[in-house]
Structure 1
């Protein structure tokens, strides 16, 4: 049986959310790296597979899935030995889904508002209003984590993987104040103790933040 194929980039937070999920359930993937900055997601071949031209994209036999949250849910449902990461109980699953939508609709969307003008449009600035807009999400996460170790309660879920990959990719530009967000900091620390976290998420998050800093400096120099 062939492995599911994942088109991904290590600097992509959604890609890392899927990779964290795959590691947690022991699923081996056939990894196909895509260079976003070189536009490899815009080639004719990739667009035929995924007209949305997004990564990650999963190909599992005849099944093609083009959203990271849907991919994580799918591989848990199909390949995991238990449903703890994505519960079948409808109430618990709805809670996980709501946190996944928080990532796609707010966390990752605001990361894009902050990063894309610098990475792709030559912007020399990192506007304070966009930083503050991102930090509003920290207030929400802090509230969810006030009385539980994970975003959906006492159990680790795919929502934690999706959200932590985003937060740790932007927490240098949009600072996390430990005195204001102690639960958020403790949650990141808790996830960082997973044996696969450093390789799968932290290295890619550092890569993205370094590229962002370099592009910001280049853009500022080019505007002089």
Structure 2
């Protein structure tokens, strides 16, 4: 556990191991000079994956991604960029310190949310909009976001399910725990339990949520599910 932020670190030691990890990501890593230096570098991704050709990054100039390391939506965007072999200049924004509320950041994003992507002057935020933009702009034939209308509609439906149901429930049920609150009781857990049961039904016997191929929906949902490491509810999606 990093001790550069003494109070959060001391608090975290009283928590479970998964929750200590999340707290470390939320607090300590945000102030770590090592993390800042690493995140400020350009990350060329030269592994050809999921429809992205091998070799140099698919975007000629790195895009700027304003992000927070521990944020599931930010994590989803970084995962998609890696799959698509896109180069990002990662710019950390410490929400805990209010850096997303500064005039400089609000000039870029009036809603003060993360992640925010800047691509040659074009600005887009909301993680699922960023994900679809990356595919449409740079790797339009990637199976991550199928071109066939019905397949794409299924991916879109699951992205909206993640945003409006799954991640919303994770946020309401588990974020208070992450910030030191008591664990939710069975009644408070119901929205998240129901969301996870729905997800299990969508998955069924499939390898991925839309079938045999991984899509943006899988990546976005996986990023949201990382928050459940803060509770025993992760057992509900063990499969």
TM bucket, shorter chain: 0.7 to 0.9
Q: Is the aligned partner of 1:147 residue 2:186?
A: no
Q: Give the alignment's TM-score, normalised by structure 2.
A: 0.70
State the shift of 1:176 in Å.
Answer: 3.0
Gaps (5+ residues) in structure 1?
Answer: 187-224
Q: Is the aligned partner of 1:7 residue 2:66?
A: yes
**One of 36, 46, 49 as aligned partner of 2:105:** 46
Asked if 1 retains the 8 angstrom alpha-carbon contact of 2:84 and 2:135, the reply is yes
Specify the alignment match of 1:76 in structure 2.
135
State the shift of 1:118 in Å.
Answer: 4.9
Specify the alignment match of 2:40 in structure 1.
none
Specify the alignment match of 2:182 in structure 1.
125
Specify the alignment match of 1:207 in structure 2.
none
Q: Is the aligned partner of 1:55 residue 2:108?
A: no
Query: What root-mean-square deviation, in Å, do the aligned CA atoms of Structure 1 and Structure 2 show?
Result: 1.8
**One of 186, 193, 205 as aligned partner of 1:135:** 193
Count matched residues: 179
Q: Separation in 2 of the partners of 1:39 and 1:108?
A: 22
State the shift of 1:125 in Å.
Answer: 2.1
Alpha-carbon deviations, 1:108-135, whole Å to 9, x = none? 1112212444566xx6323223323212
State the shift of 1:39 in Å.
Answer: 1.3
Q: Separation in 2 of the partners of 1:23 and 1:39?
A: 28
State the shift of 1:52 in Å.
Answer: 1.2
Specify the alignment match of 1:163 in structure 2.
221
Q: Separation in 2 of the partners of 1:174 and 1:78?
A: 39
State the shift of 1:172 in Å.
Answer: 3.2
SS at match of 2:217: helix
Provide closer, same or farther for how the CA distance between residues 67 and 91 of structure 1 changes in structure 2, counting only shifts above 3 A. same
Equivalences for 1:87-102 in 2 at 5 Å?
Answer: 87-102=146-161
Specify the alignment match of 1:195 in structure 2.
none
State the shift of 1:59 in Å.
Answer: 0.6
Asked if 2 retains the 8 angstrom alpha-carbon contact of 1:25 and 1:81, the reply is no
Provide closer, same or farther for how the CA distance between residues 119 and 141 of structure 1 changes in structure 2, counting only shifts above 3 A. closer
Q: Separation in 2 of the partners of 1:109 and 1:171?
A: 16
Q: Give the alignment's TM-score, normalised by structure 1.
A: 0.74
Q: Separation in 2 of the partners of 1:104 and 1:89?
A: 22
